[in-house]
Structure 1
């Protein structure tokens, strides 16, 4: 697991260097989240078209990413961020396991892309939260998870997370941090 974390950190550094994005740009440029929603949908579609995806030998924990908008709006941005970070962590862990199992075929590329994108989001949001908040609070209750052996569910979970909670979190953070001064704010 330590090797996975080291590789995750290296991938993040390379991503930051190549893309020259920073956490504020990730939040403040509203065009980026639309790009990431489209990417997530494309990855999910690519995985859906792969016929030879084997089941994972052991189930992975995936977050339940559905939510009630009314409950979501009552939460603080810190609680929302913590929930999204936890969900992204579970997706990254699940993608890492799936990459070890699926080493050939049409899903190798999308799995790598999923792992890299989810890892990048995870690290950038952690960095953003570190800049915005000096204290780290834990979630009141453990977020719900489901055990899953089908790699396609990892793609579906990530896509739902990006289209739902992550997009809404970005909107809330944008409103609090960037309104009126961000590129793509219109």
Structure 2
């Protein structure tokens, strides 16, 4: 006979706690130490994770701060690329800019709305007179070319041309088309530039 069989049945009930629920008694069976330790380590890690990534204010690890940081890095990289491109691009003379602008004017089919000589048609205004709807400066003209006028039917070209190319088209318009005398020009629109 084994030794366990010689024990008194009362000895098996020594680990029963005093809790008695409707005649059901609860035994005291604690979890093994390794499971308890694993549970405590998991709780500690989760507290560290929550505090580190979502916790104290000003740690800049929340989603909004991470997004702002990545946008700032992207914009800095774009500025660096733009500066490198500008440094590598030779400065053109005004005559070269006008020639490049004329090529771009034809390539981007600006004549479809403004006419082959900038005289204007039923869609686009006359580019040869001294009356302008959206401003007189090179920057104003560049802004119109870049952002377009969707309500008037003009396509924005900022996704199709670089800033330099937009500048060339603006220089071509202001230095070569303005003041020319094409056949059948459209009536002046906007304010006169002086």
Question: Same fold per TM (> 0.5)?
Answer: no
Higher relative contact order (CA 8 A, sep 6+): 1
Superposition TM-score tier, normalisation by shorter sequence: under 0.3
Higher helix share: 1
Normalised to the residue count of structure 2, the TM-score between the two structures is 0.23
> Whose Rg is larger?
2
Normalised to the residue count of structure 1, the TM-score between the two structures is 0.23
